[in-house]
Structure formats: C-alpha cells, structure tokens
Amino acid sequence: MSSYPTTMPPTRPEVSAGAPTESRARWIQLATSADHKTIGQILLAGSFGSLFLAALELLLVRVQLSVPDNVFLNAVTFDRLLSVYGETAIFLFALPLCIGLFYYVVPLQIGARGTALPRVGQTGLWLFILGGFVLYASFLFTPPEAGINPLPPLSELSFTGNNGVDVWLASTGMIILGLLLLSIDLLTTLHNLRAPGMAWRRAPIFTWAAAIVTWLMVVVVPIMLAAITMLMVDRKLGGTFFVGGSGGSPILWQHMSYIFFSASYMIIAVTFLAAISEIVQTFTRRQLLNRNVVIGSLAAIAVLGTLAWTQNMITAPLPSGWKYYGMLMSISLIVPFGLIFYNLIATVSASDFHMRAPLRYAMGALSLASIGLLAEIAQSTIAVGTQLQHTYDAWAATHFALIGFALFGGFAAVSYWYPKITGRLLNEERAKISFGVMFAGALIALVPLFGAGVEGQVTDSYRYVSGQGYDVFNLISAIGTLILFVGVIMAVGNLIKSRTEEDAALPDPYRGDTLEWLALSPPVAHNFDVLPDVRGTQPMRDIRDALVRRDAEAGNTADEPQPVA
Amino acid sequence: MRMARSRLSGSCDYNGPALLPRSKKTVSLFIALAGFLTGMGVLAGPAMALSLNPEAGSPGIEKANTFHWIIFVVIVIAIVAVNLAIIRAARPRNRHVPNGGSARKGSQLKVGLGLGVVALAIFVTATVFSDQSRVVPVSTETVADVNESKQLEIVATGQQWLWRFNYPNGAFSYHRLVVPAGVTVALKLVSTDVIHGWNVPSLTGKADAVPGKTNWVYFRADEEGVHTGRSAILSGQGYDTMEAKVEVVSPDEYETFIEQLKTDIQDAQDAVEQTNHEGAAATTDVSAGALKDDAQDKTMKTAEKEQ
C-alpha cells in the first residue's frame, strides 16, 4: 500500500451545494431517474447478476459433460441451458457491462454534467431490463433451444415448433435495441458535451473506446435487428427469407448474425483493452507508451474484427473468395492486438507500479486473452479451421478471450472505478484471493478443452460415448468450472460486501489523471460544480500541479492536499 | 516546494516524463512483433494451398497434419512468450535498482523468438510447396463410374439424424460410406431439412450440408481402413446420435460392394412391391371401398414425396 491518503478524513469537506433532499422512496428514484450514473449502476448491477446466472448455467453444462453417457440432463434441457447460457453471457453480461461502464464513466471523463439525450438512455435501460425479464420468464414456459446462435432452418417453425426461438428473438431484439439507444445517447454526448478544451486528441483512451464502440453499435445492431425481424416474419407470417429452396437462403442468416457476433466480440475486446490501458496508466503513473498508436489500434480492431465475420463460416458453402477474405482479415487482426498488448506490457515493464486489485485483474485479463486470441488466429487459417471449428478447441479459444476480456477485464474495470461509483474502497485482500481462485479455475476449466477439441469432441452435443480420448479432459474441465464459479461468487461477494464494510474513499484515491477523479465519490447529481479548462491529455495532473504551484507561491505547506471538486 | 511536492505525490514519481524514451527494449518488442506477423502472413499461403485444392487428396492430408503440428508449436511459443512478458512486467520490483544486464538478455530472447517464428514459417512453406510431385493424377482404370474430372462423385444427404450416401450406379446406403482406396472422392453435400456438419476429421475437414445449397469435400484415402466422425452442427434433439462411418476398401471390393448393394436394393424393392400387390389383391376380396382409400393414400404419399 502506498503512503498517500486514500480514505476520507472523518470530517468530510462539503464543497458542493448539496444534493436535493430525498422526497421520494429510494426505489422510485431509481426507477424514474434518467441520470447517467443511476442508469449505469443499474446496468452494471444487472450484468453482474447475469454473470452469476451465466456461470451457473455453464457449470450445469460442464457437469452434464463431465462423464460419458451422463443422464444428469436430457437433450432438450441441455440445449435450453446452452442456448440461454449463450444469450446470458453475451447479451445480458458482457455487452451491458461494456455499455454500462461507458455510460457511467465517460460523461465524467469528458467533463459533462449529464448525457445529451437522457430519456433515450432511460428507454434503452428499460428495454434491456424487459428483454432480460422475457428471457428468464421463458423458464416458466419454453426456453429457447436452437443453440447459442439459432441457425435457420433449425430455428424455423417447421423444425422448432415451440415458442423457444420466438423468446430468443424477442429478448435479443429488445436487449440490443436498448443497448443501441444507450449507445446513441452516449455518442451524442461524446460529440456535443465535452468540457472546454477537451479536443478529441486530448480525450482519454476509454473515451476513445466509447466513441469506437458506440459507432460500431450504430452500424451493426440494425443488421442484427433486421435478421431478427426477418426470422420473426418467417416464423409468424409464413415468410421464406431463410428457407433454402424457396427463394431464401439459410446462409443469409449466417452472414447477418456473424457480422453482429464478430462485432460483439470486438466491442468486448476494445472496451476492456481501453479500461486496462487506463488502469495501467494510473497505477504506473505514466502515460501509455505510443498512446496514439494504441487508440488507432483500437479502431482497427473494431473495423477489421467486424469485417472478419466470414471466418466463422469457413465450413459453409461459400465461394472460396469469402473464406480467404475472412481468413486474411482475422490474421491481420494480430497487428492491432499485438501493438496494444506490447505497448501495455512495455509500459508496465518500464515503470514502478502499485500492484492493487485493478492492475492484478488487468494483468490476468491480458494473460488469458492472449491465449484465446492466438488460438483464434491459428484457427482462422482455413486448413486448421476446417478441422477445429465446432469442436471444443474453438470453444476454449473463444472462452479464453471472452473470459479474459469480459470477466477479468470487467472485474478490473469495476474495481478500478469502484471508489468512484460506490464511494468506498474495495477490499484488497478478498480481491486478491478471488483473483487467484478465478484465474486457476479459468485455466483448469479451459486448457483441457483444447485437448478435447483436438481429439475431435464437437460442441453442442449433450452427451458422448466413452473411449474416444476425451473423458479425462471433460472431467478436469468440470472441476475447473466449479472453481471458476466459486471464484466468481467470491469476487461478486467482495463487490457487495465492500460497499458497506470498507472505508469511505476520497474523490481521487488512486491519483488518476482523467477528469472523473475530479468529481466527488460518489459524484453529485450534476457531476461537477466547476469545470476546468482542459489543456492536455492528463487534466487531473495539471490540476494537481497548479495546486502545488499555488501552495508554494503562498508559502502554504498544509499536511493534507486541498480537495478539489 | 520540493517538500510539498513529495507529500502530494507520495512515494512515486508521477511528474516524471510523460513518454518513455524509446529504448532498445521497445525496439526489440517491435522486431519480435514484426517477425511474428511476417510468420503468420507466410503461413497463410500454405494454409490456402492445402485447404481448397481438390486434387490435393491424401498427400495434402499428410502435409496438413504437419502444418497443424507446426502451427500448434508456433502458437504455443507465442503464448508462452507473451505470458512470460506479462509475468516479467508485473513482477514487483524497485526501479531504483539498475537492471540493465537482464533487460538486454530479454530483448535478445524476443528477437530470437521472432526470428524462430519466421524460420518455422519458411520451413512450412518449403515443405508444402516443394513436394508437388506427390499430387498424382487419379487413376480411373479400376473404377467404372468415375466421371470426366477423374473424381468419384458420391452424394451425401444429411437428414435428421442420419447420412444417406448415393453412389454413381444408383445404389445408396445409410450411415456407412464405402469408398475405394487410391481414388479422389468428391463428396457432394446436400441436406433435406436443417444444416448438418460433415465431420470425419481423419479424412477431411468439416463442411456444412445446407438445404438449398451444394457443398463439396474432397478426400483420397490411400490405405484401407475405417474412419468415423460425428456431425458437427446442432441439428435438433437427435444430434448426438448422428454419426458417419467411412470404410476404405480396395477398388475391386468397392465395385463388388456397390453392385451387390444395387442388387439387394432392387430385390428389397421387388419384395416390397410383391407384398404390396398381394396385400392389395387380398384387400380387393374384402371390399372395393377399402382398396379405393388405399389407392388414394398412396397417391397422396407419392405427391408428398415429389414435393
């Protein structure tokens, strides 16, 4: 622990004019607030609740596969759990976590007093909540059962007659429409409400990532919404958009959905790489090496990764040009990813740092994601990909990358902004233990699956016969998933417990360099009383320097730094 | 001033240089990265050559296996290198202790890794492209129904939840595909209901059978034996039982097998028609009305099949 003060002195200086008195019940305030901080908190709480559900579903799936010919779940239950797991992990956990973090942090980072279109954002939040509710309410009736990506014709009415696929379409449509509305609000805020002097070249990396991600959402979400509408028309109005041999094509759904799924993957990667960059800058007290190269690489990841959608389709009957194209786009992704990884590692490598919970989670995220991304790039070559796609090798690669970015990167980002969001410090000891358990669990759960995939075990199958060389791998993976589940519960429990048990935090407990640390912890409703002129990429450092100069000129050597807010 | 500054900044030098000096270490990182990129770019060529060349046949499979192993080694090296760098970067230390010697060693290691990847990539390319003589034209003398492109064309139809194989002479089989050794087989993949994933990893890569579309996989097995595989795309509740078995036999045995299969199918068809005829005759004795219904049913079924 460093020597500078991180906790609030007993007499908290009240600089702001004070929040308006609470005249209404807390839940009414939460439900009716259009404040970006409230909406962001609800999104973050929702995504961590979904994380628990997703981890539980993954655990059940792995337990079913732990031994050959298991009878723990039947085929229908397994398919339903798998489909709901996929939707929960991507649409209810990872994407809302990205958008929620942006929605909470970015207006503070750019020095805005709110978002530009708060009612649009509020509508988005409620669409998201409604979508999640519809998905889980379906457990009372028929949950979706056509797979993580419900490929037509299996998801057409003639092959899946029950309402499961309709639930998938309705909930996914509402969730991504909600996230699109939140993105539009954020995008408008970014373009219009930056503080005086906050030119794009001075914007923090996380703000840049927010701009990249929200633009990408605006481009790709309508494509997925169109696909969902078309499949709805097929199912409810007798259309033939995705019916082969009737003028439509099942391949069309694959193009549309894989554009969105590739873009989601890249949204998750860009968000958490940017969050890790902020964490590295704060805890190493240095500006990131080659900052502009990193920002350009984030944009390149978003563009190239989305254009690489056909690498998911190298087994489909496509002209070979499409497959070469997808493969080249995927391989070229190694350039921006490599640049970011090396700049992050070199920045940490070249400096003294404080190994606190956010940086520890961030390093774990980089480690796991590097394994997943490199394995993905190997599989994007056609010769290897036609062998390994749809096996647990591909599953393990995707999970390494997404657990690395969304789970570890997510805990890194949330623990980094935890003092700002809650006004309390995170318990370091519990964070350390939960990190260790989660990291060990992720490795034990996923590394054996590479072996199972190379032996030829295909995904989505609810059972397998013994003696094919992958029984042991599945057993180890089930044990690892249990450890991962325990780790996730410990980490989420730490987030909940620290909120009441830990010390109150100062506005700027880590001495960060971006403007969100100027606001109180937690910020007042209007975020800032006074906005500074931004004169560089590190406005808070400039403010601290100015304070030091002022104190020196006045001959004032007070023991405590003056709070600024 | 100095005192106030140190108090505010704690133990660390947050007012240090905004950008790191461009050290040799950074340059070496970029050399390693550039080497890795070049390596992956060079690997792309053989990957393309192996994957979509129908004439490659089984020699291609051997090369593909070599290629898989090499890319596996390359990826493992890359993962280890990146994670060593992360561990090294995140190791707690005191920066005031000079540490020049080991940093230099580290940079040499990274340059070495980059060069190693390039060397491996060149080796793979040479292996794959130099040995073109092994891709021999397919001999057609012993196989009767091979078409003009010198490939044996067999149609594999995916259905929920089995594979049906149609041979060139009109015979067909379910689950089990028999092919001659030493002949390139062009497997035409179609589907009658949902998407099925053709997946016999020891013979060929995966390919999807999509309704309304045609997909092709090509393979040539030089040795006799049995290859099995599981369908690879979720196709409904019987998905886990959908398997394919490919038996490679000598060309003579293959000829005998498909002729026998054709005869058997014809016999079975004759037997069914015989039974049906007898049954219909028996029904005539009972009632003329029942025969009429039966005939209507048959017409409807035929119409459904044609649709």
- DSSP for A476-495? HHHHHHHHHHHHHHHHHHHH
- A298 CB neighbour count, 10 Å cutoff: 25
Residue of B120, B206, B241 to mutate, testing the A interface (most A Cβ within 10 Å of its Cβ): B206
Average pLDDT in chain B: 68
Give the CA radius of gyration of chain B: 32
- CB contacts under 8 A, A 476-515 vs B, are 511
Q: Cα distance from B144 to chain A (closest Cα, Å)? A: 29
- Identify the residue among A83, A148, A154, A297 best suited for mutation to test binding to B, counting B beta carbons within 10 A and taking the highest: A154
pLDDT confidence of residue B307:
46
* pLDDT at residue number A136: 95
Q: Please name the member of B67, B206, B229 whose beta carbon is closest to the beta carbon of A389.
A: B206
Query: Is the previous residue joined to A522 through a cis bond, with omega within 30 degrees of 0?
Result: yes
CA neighbours closer than 13 Å in the CB half-sphere of residue A390: 28
To the nearest whole angstrom, how far is the Cα of B130 from the nearest Cα of chain A? 18
Distance CA B175, CA B165 (A): 8
Could you tell me if B25 lies within 8 Å of chain A, comparing CB atoms?
yes
User: Which is more confidently placed, B183 or B24?
Assistant: B183
Closest CA to A452 of A395, A399, A401: A395
Q: Give B-chain residues touching A460 at CB under 8 angstroms.
A: 233-234, 239
- Contact pairs from chain A to chain B, CB under 8 Å: 249
CA A505, A506, A512, A518 torsion: positive or negative?
positive
CB-hemisphere CA count at 13 Å for B279?
A: 9
Within an 8 Å CB–CB cutoff, is residue B83 touching chain A? yes
Q: Cβ contacts (< 8 Å) between A359 and chain B: which residues? A: 90
| Contact (CB, 8 A) for A227 and A254 | no
Strand partners, B153: B186
C-alpha distance from residue A406 to each of A78, A271, A343, B6, B82 (Å): 24, 9, 20, 37, 20
Instruction: Identify all chain A residues contacting B14, using CB atoms and an 8 Å cutoff.
Output: 285, 511, 541
Cα A289 to Cα B89: distance, rounded to the nearest angstrom? 14
| Count of beta carbons in the 10 Å neighbourhood of residue B293 | 11
Classify each residue of A121-147 as buried b or exposed e, where b means 16 or more C-beta atoms within 10 Å of its C-beta.
bbbbbbbbbbbbebbbebeeebbbbbb
Kindly state the greatest CA–CA separation across chain B: 119
What is the sign of the dihedral through the CA atoms of A414, A419, A424 and A427? positive
Given the structure tokens 């180890």, which residue do they identify?
A476
Residue whose C-alpha is closest to residue A302's, from A220, A185, A192, A374: A220
Mutation site for B-interface testing, chosen from A340, A352, A392, A446 by largest number of B Cβ within 10 Å: A352
- In whole angstroms, give the CA distance from residue B16 to residue A353: 13
Contact call for B90 and A378, based on CB within 8 A = no
ipTM > 0.90? no
Chain B residues lying within 8 Å of A462, measured CB to CB: 240
CA atoms lying within 13 Å on the CB side of residue B177: 33
Restricting to B residues 138-177, those with a Cβ less than 8 Å away from any Cβ of A are 160
A165 shares contact with chain B (CB less than 8 Å): no
* pLDDT of res. A325: 85
Q: Does B93 touch chain A (CB under 8 A)?
A: yes
Q: What is the pLDDT of residue A182?
A: 97
Is the predicted pLDDT of residue B45 greater than 70, yes or no? no
Residue pLDDT, tens place only, B252-294: 899 999 999 999 988 888 888 888 777 665 555 544 444 445 5
Q: Is A378 on the interface with B (CB under 8 A)?
A: yes
Distance, CA of A201 to CA of A198 (rounded, Å) = 8
Contact B201, B238 (CB under 8 A): no
Taking contacts as CB-CB distances below 8 angstroms, the residues of chain B near A147 are 234
On chain A, the residues whose CB falls within 8 A of the CB of B26 are 289, 346
Is A474 in contact with A70 (CB distance < 8 Å)?
Answer: no
> Among all residues of chain B, which has the CA nearest to that of A343?
B26
Q: What is the mean pLDDT of residues B149-169?
A: 86
Task: Report how far residue A90's alpha carbon sits from residue A97's, in angstroms, rounded to the nearest whole number.
Answer: 10
Which pLDDT band holds residue B173 (cuts at 50, 70, 90)?
Answer: very high
Q: Cα separation of A488 and A433, whole Å? A: 11
Structure tokens at B256: 């005998």
Contact A250 B86 (CB under 8 A): no
What are the mean pLDDT values of chain A's consecutive 10-residue runs (565 residues total)?
A: 52 53 79 92 95 95 93 92 95 96 95 93 96 94 92 90 92 96 96 92 95 96 95 92 84 94 96 96 89 93 94 87 84 86 86 87 94 86 82 94 96 96 93 96 94 88 88 95 96 94 88 91 89 88 89 68 49
Check: CB of residue A389 under 8 Å from CB of residue B49: no
**B40 close to A (CB below 8 A):** yes
* pLDDT value at residue B138: 37
Long-range contacts of A530-537 (CB under 8 A, 24+ apart): A530/A565, A531/A111, A531/A195, A531/A196, A532/A111, A532/A195, A533/A195, A533/A196, A533/A197, A534/A111, A534/A195, A534/A196, A534/A197, A534/A198, A534/A202, A535/A197, A536/A202, A537/A201, A537/A202, A537/A203, A537/A204, A537/A287, A537/A291, A537/A513
Chain B residues touching A463 at Cβ < 8 A: 240
CA of A471 vs chain B CAs: smallest distance (Å) = 16
pLDDT at B218: 79
AA identity, residue A97? L
- In terms of Cα–Cα distance, which of A152, A320, A226 is closest to B210? A152
Q: Is the pLDDT of residue B169 over 70?
A: yes
The shortest CB-CB distance from B37 to any of A338, A381, A461 is to A338
Q: Residue range B91-97: average pLDDT?
A: 57
Lowest mean pLDDT among B12-26, B80-94, B130-144: B130-144
pLDDT of residue A11: 54
The DSSP H or E segment spanning B162 is strand B162-166
For residue A391, list chain B residues with Cβ-Cβ distance below 8 A: 232
Q: A318: exposed, middle or buried (C-beta count within 10 Å: 0-12, 13-18, 19+)?
A: buried
8 A C-beta contact, residue A76 and residue A162: no
Cβ contacts (< 8 Å) between B214 and chain A: which residues?
Answer: 317
Nearest CA in chain B to A352: B95
Nearest CA in chain A to B17: A286
Q: How far is A211 from chain B (nearest CA, A)?
A: 24
Give the pLDDT confidence score for residue A6 in this predicted structure. 59
Please tell me the predicted confidence (pLDDT) of residue B102. 46
Partners of B65 on chain A (C-beta within 8 Å) are: none
Interchain contact, A315 vs B201, CB within 8 Å: no
Task: Report yes or no: B75 at the A interface, CB cutoff 8 Å.
Answer: yes
